[in-house]
Structure formats: C-alpha cells, structure tokens
Chain A
C-alpha cells in the first residue's frame, strides 16, 4: 500500500461531492460537542476521573477480564476468546451454524467491521443485514463506512436517495424523513425474521458483567430483544470497572459524539432471558477479541486502548475534514485510526498514517479521555523510521549535512549558496518547487523563501548596534 494515503488523499481533495458532505457535518458536530460539554457540571473533573479509571483498568486488564468473565457466566452468558479476526469469525459462524441460524441482524459494531464478519456469514450461506441506518446504506451501496459514528458522512442526501431508489425499488427522494421511513419498513421485517442478533459493546461493566449498548435509532434494542440467539463481539479493552464509571463514560460519550446529554437508548444486557420473560434471547454469547490489542498494550501507544470511539477527534482534525475517512485505508479513520490501524494491522503497510497529521493537537483537546494522540503519532513516526530502511539518497544527504554543519566556515559558505538559489526561485516570498533533492519536500507543501539576511548576520549587526 505504499503511496496509499497520499494517493487517496489527493483523490479525496478533488472530490467535490465529498467536500459538500463533509462540510455539512463535521463543523456542526464540533459546535454541538462544545455545547454538550458546556452542559456537563464539572466537565474537566469528570474527564480526569474517566481517564484515570480507564488507565487504571489497563494496568490491571488481565484481572479485570477474569472478573468480567466470571460475572458473564453468572449471568448465564457463554464466553469465547478469540486471538485473531479469523478466530472470531470462525467462533461466531460456528455459534450460528450450531443454532440453525439463517438470518443475522447486526447492530453497528466497529469490531465486527474490522473482522469482516459479514463475509464469513455469507460464505457460510447465512444472510446478514446491517441495521444502523448509515451502515445499512453502506451495505446497500457496497460502500465502506467513513466515520466512527456517522458511517455515511461522505454521502449527500441526494446520493443516499439514489442508492435507495436503485436497491429497494422505491421512488427517489432526497427528504431524510422519507428515506428513514423506507429503511424502517425494510428493516422491521429483518428484525422480526432474524434468528440471531450481533452487536459490539460500547462498554462492559466489570463489577456486574453488564454489556452496555447505546443507539439513537433503537436497532441495538431490537437485536437484543427479538432474535433467539444473541452474540456480542467486543475488544478486550472495552471494560469499565464500575457502574459509577459507566455513568461518567455515558455522560462523556454522547456529549462528545453528538452533543446529546444521553443517547436515546442506553441498554444494559445481563444475560439471556430469565424465566417468566416474554422476550429476549434464549442464548447469549460474548466473544472477547484480542486481534492485536495486547500487542498495542505492550508498546508506546498502549494509551489508545482507552478510546471510547466517540469520533470527536475526527471532527476536530483538519486533515480528516479535508480528506474524509476513506483515505485512511481501514475501518478506523482520523487521528484515532492513525494509531489503531497500524497497531492492529501492522505498521509497515500503514506507515504513512502517523504522518497524516499536522500535530496541531486539536484531537487531544477534544478527547473525552484526554488521550495524548500527538505523542502517540510521534512515537509511531519514530518507529516507522527505525524499522524501515531509509532511501540511500536520504542517508547520504544526512551524512553530508552532518559534515558541513560541523564545520562553521563551510556551513556559512554552503548556506550562502543555498539561500541565493532558493531566493532566485521564490515568487511572492514562496517557493512552490524546490530544485534537486529538495523537490520531494515541496511536492506537498510550499516553502517560505529565506530572509535576505541570515539570523547569524542579523544577530551580529544588532549586537554591534547595541555596543556602539
């Protein structure tokens, strides 16, 4: 995938539709988040404590996982452990096959997006439908989601209308209320027919084994209530210690994501249906997924496992806002994706992602858990340089620079030449294309023309002026 991000970003920058769609949403989400946080009493303190509890949890993750597993079993759920994406898919398809499942209704789950479980179901001859409105449209269009909480942020309402008209044989409309009504009618049947519901987990509560799910549409409620088999696929890092912690995270998640005080539906699932219940699944399974997370935990970017997937860093990021989610090349886009994707999929194919940032720090500013995203991006850049062989020209260039820079007279003579060449190329104070080896640098940026006088001469002149 070399040249991948740069190539995709260039294409995205030229995509007029994408810019209309991104402009209509990201800026508004930034404003809503700010208003949401302002409505939270003592917001800074809540964020500090949320961060502290996540970091504390990571320090004791193995014990927390054991305790969580024990509570799940007490609640009547069956627990499975998956080391890789392929293992998770195999386990889930096995559960489905054993239970004679023919149709699966899925509520939005980033973890399952990353394991590509839909493909595994289809290969096993099991039908699967996404039920989050955005994910459903992604599935209809054969597209990919481009935002953690707004999967079709890259589409305009007109595009959505065309997809629905084509795939569902309904009259074209660009009225969102009408489009939502189409989806409701189609998906209602899917909910009622499905034998199995599949969700991720927003949080798993260690103290009581509750799986916490939040949705605004109500699809997670449907898939945890109607089908007879219910499966949760969750990363091993999605735990919170107590209900008091959960309270804090719920307050932060909705506000950071959409500015709401609380998401419309917050569901706590504690096992399959109990005796006397009229609804709820007969069996519940929880698949705990590693898939690179323990590797992330062992390294410089361990902190990213505290992410609660609110998407605030995407909306705040000037790079994301310019190129959209698809340019990042995997399920998690934006600043968080630039750390999670190399962590899970390996740094080599995604070595460009940590550099897809100006390190402005807007992501750290809005992160509800105050994750130090710029620090982690720098750590990954460092790692990328350490572990990949740099081009011969760069190595030679640096050796040469070291020789010149350590000899003052040579250095002064060399900079005088370079300054003259660069100034001769400048127009209106900017160099758009630098000569020779430096041309790589100006491929993506403009270079400010050097000043007429070096810092050194200016300093000497001022010093002379003061003493006279």
Chain B
C-alpha cells in the first residue's frame, strides 16, 4: 500500500521537472498565500439591512419562499401556518431560535428511526449562516442538527436570524472556521433540489426538497 504511495509521489516529483506547466504570473498570485478573498481591499462591511435585502432577493430568484417577520411571535405564527397538517421532522427543539422549539414538540428528530424520518413531510431547521451574495443557507452537521432534516422531506423550512447573515461564502467560512473544523459535514443549500438533465428543462425536487421556505426574524 505504501509502495503505491511512494511510487505515485516519486513520479509526481519527477514529472514537474519535465512537464510543461505554465508558471503563474506573480501578479495573479495572492500576496498572502491565498487566504485573502477577492476584492477585500476596497470593500467595507455592508450594513445588515442591505445584507438582508440582498439575501431575500437572491433566495427569491432561486424559487425560495421568503418571509420577513417583525417579532418572535410572528415567526412562530408563520411557522405554524407553514407546517399545518404536515408530519414534522426537526432539529432538536433547543437549537431553534425565537422559542419555536415548543411548536415542534413531539416532532420526529434526527435520532428517530430512518424509515420514520423518510416519511416526514416537512423538515425544520435553523441555520449556521446565510450567504447574501448567493441566497444560500449554511447548515453544519452536529449534535441535534442532523443533515437528514433538510434533505429527506419534500419541504424544508429554515429559520434565519439577522446575525446569521454574511455577505459572501468566504466571509462565513472565515467567521465560523472553528465550527466547521468540528463538524464532519457542512452543506450550503442554494434553492430547491433541481435537475436539467433531460433536455435542459428545469425540474424541481429530484432528491432533496422541491420546496424551500425561509423565515427571517427580528
């Protein structure tokens, strides 16, 4: 096994001496070894109202339902309306903001039997980040936050707090590097599940949820 490793690494080391690999012009390389994001120098931090506006705009363009609620009570009401009559699968209630935990009392959880989770009709999550530039939700797997919740049901409802918002992917990744390092799986959800494999015609809800709703609270 280590024989293959050494053989491959040896070949690669010899290869770069003869291979025609264009050299990267110095001005295209990152001065700091690549950790700085594009355009950082001229960018100030946008205010949170602008971030939220952009996030909602991008999410809607993807076909995501978005609701902005003024109070925690309004968030809970909205959630109740959205999930009325549906079989619920949820992140652990203590992980949900705006005291929404009580609404999902008795719901299926990530620890429930797989077959039961697979029959859920709606999945309720919070998020670890929301990316304004792309309308994406960042969901970091961990205790009480099972990836199955945002994946198995045909409908996904996510609760977003204004402090979850980041302008760009790289801003989130930098700000939450510790959380990411402690998790085995981080997924960015950008709109509903889709395919265009057949004649490029857009088809929603192939394997993941075909319907995504985001409720933003105060």
Q: Does A391 contact B (CB under 8 A)?
A: no
Picked from B5, B34, B194, the residue with its CB within 8 Å of the CB of A242 is B34
Instruction: Give complex CA distance A269, B8 in Å.
Output: 25
Residue in A28, A160, A180 with the greatest tally of chain B CB atoms within 10 Å: A180
Q: Name which residue of chain B comes closest to A53, CB basis.
A: B34
Q: Name which residue of chain B comes closest to A179, CB basis.
A: B198
Picked from A183, A277, A379, the residue with its CB within 8 Å of the CB of B143 is A277
Q: Does the CB pair A52–B208 fall under 8 Å? A: no
Q: Does A285 contact B (CB under 8 A)?
A: no
Q: Does the CB pair A280–B184 fall under 8 Å? A: yes
Instruction: Give complex CA distance A80, B14 in Å.
Output: 21
Instruction: Give complex CA distance A263, B72 in Å.
Output: 32
Q: Does the CB pair B12–A273 fall under 8 Å? A: no
Within 8 A of A (CB), among B75-120: 109-111, 114-115, 118
Stretch at the interface among A9-17, A57-65, A347-355, A442-450: A57-65
Q: Mark A208-231, 1 if CB is under 8 A from B, else 0.
A: 100000001111011011100000
Q: Does the CB pair A263–B9 fall under 8 Å? A: no
Instruction: Give complex CA distance A267, B201 in Å.
Output: 24
Instruction: Give complex CA distance A222, B148 in Å.
Output: 8
Instruction: Give complex CA distance A100, B199 in Å.
Output: 39
Stretch at the interface among A294-302, A334-342, A395-403: A294-302
Q: Does the CB pair A294–B12 fall under 8 Å? A: yes
Q: Does the CB pair A270–B16 fall under 8 Å? A: no
Main SS of the interface on chain B? loop
Q: Does A150 contact B (CB under 8 A)?
A: yes
Q: Does A144 contact B (CB under 8 A)?
A: no
Q: Does the CB pair B170–A244 fall under 8 Å? A: yes
Residues of chain B contacted by A221 (CB below 8 angstroms): 147, 151, 187, 207-208
Residues of chain A contacted by B110 (CB below 8 angstroms): 278-279
Q: Does the CB pair A133–B151 fall under 8 Å? A: no
Within 8 A of A (CB), among B1-50: 1, 4-5, 7-9, 11-16, 18-25, 28-30, 33-39
Q: Does the CB pair A217–B207 fall under 8 Å? A: yes
Q: Within the complex, what minimum Cβ distance (angstroms) separates B197 from chain A?
A: 4
Interface size class of B (residues with CB under 8 A): 35 or more
Q: Does A387 contact B (CB under 8 A)?
A: no
Q: Does the CB pair A133–B200 fall under 8 Å? A: no
Q: Does the CB pair A222–B207 fall under 8 Å? A: yes
Q: Does A411 contact B (CB under 8 A)?
A: no
Q: Does the CB pair B188–A265 fall under 8 Å? A: yes
Q: Mark B182-212, 1 if CB is under 8 A from A, else 0.
A: 1111111111111111111101111110000
Q: Does B68 contact A (CB under 8 A)?
A: no
Instruction: Give complex CA distance A25, B35 in Å.
Output: 38
Q: Does B142 contact A (CB under 8 A)?
A: yes
Q: Does the CB pair B199–A263 fall under 8 Å? A: no
Q: Does the CB pair A299–B19 fall under 8 Å? A: yes
Q: Within the complex, what minimum Cβ distance (angstroms) separates B86 from chain A?
A: 18
Residues of chain A contacted by B73 (CB below 8 angstroms): none
Q: Within the complex, what minimum Cβ distance (angstroms) separates A81 from chain B?
A: 4
Q: Does B52 contact A (CB under 8 A)?
A: no
Instruction: For the complex, count residues of A whose C-beta is within 8 A of B.
Output: 106
Q: Within the complex, what minimum Cβ distance (angstroms) separates B26 from chain A?
A: 9
Q: Name which residue of chain A comes closest to B40, CB basis.
A: A244
Within 8 A of B (CB), among A29-79: 29, 41-42, 45-46, 48-49, 51-53, 55-56, 58-62, 65-66, 75-76
Residues of chain A contacted by B22 (CB below 8 angstroms): 55, 303, 372
Q: Does A247 contact B (CB under 8 A)?
A: yes
Residues of chain A contacted by B181 (CB below 8 angstroms): 208, 270
Q: Does the CB pair A290–B8 fall under 8 Å? A: yes
| Known contacts A221-B147, A221-B151; A59 and B190 CB within 8 A of each other | no
Q: Does the CB pair B146–A279 fall under 8 Å? A: yes
Q: Does A345 contact B (CB under 8 A)?
A: no
Residues of chain A contacted by B197 (CB below 8 angstroms): 132-134, 137, 150-152
Residues of chain B contacted by A208 (CB below 8 angstroms): 180-181
Instruction: Give complex CA distance A226, B146 in Å.
Output: 11
Q: Name which residue of chain A comes closest to B194, CB basis.
A: A216
Instruction: Give complex CA distance A272, B141 in Å.
Output: 11
| Known contacts A82-B4, A133-B197, A188-B118; A298 and B18 CB within 8 A of each other | yes
Q: Name which residue of chain B comes closest to A376, CB basis.
A: B20
Q: Does A458 contact B (CB under 8 A)?
A: no
Q: Does the CB pair A217–B38 fall under 8 Å? A: no
Q: Does the CB pair A66–B9 fall under 8 Å? A: yes
Q: Does the CB pair B195–A270 fall under 8 Å? A: no
Q: Does the CB pair A133–B198 fall under 8 Å? A: yes
Instruction: Give complex CA distance A46, B185 in Å.
Output: 27
Picked from A52, A81, A379, the residue with its CB within 8 Å of the CB of B4 is A81
- Would you give 8 A-B contacts (Cβ < 8 Å), ordered by A? A28-B200, A81-B4, A131-B207, A133-B206, A187-B207, A208-B181, A247-B173, A302-B19
Give 8 A-B pairs besides A157-B199, A295-B15, A298-B19 with Cβ atoms closer than 8 angstroms.
A58-B19, A133-B206, A176-B199, A192-B114, A244-B36, A265-B188, A267-B188, A278-B144
Give the B-binding residues of A (Cβ under 8 A): 21, 24-25, 28-29, 41-42, 45-46, 48-49, 51-53, 55-56, 58-62, 65-66, 75-76, 80-83, 87, 131-134, 137, 150-152, 155-157, 160, 176-177, 179-180, 183-184, 187-188, 191-192, 208, 216-219, 221-222, 224-226, 236, 241-245, 247-248, 250, 258, 260-274, 276-280, 288, 290, 294-303, 372, 379
Closest A-B pairs by Cβ, 7 of them: A218-B208, A52-B24, A302-B19, A278-B110, A276-B143, A52-B28, A298-B15
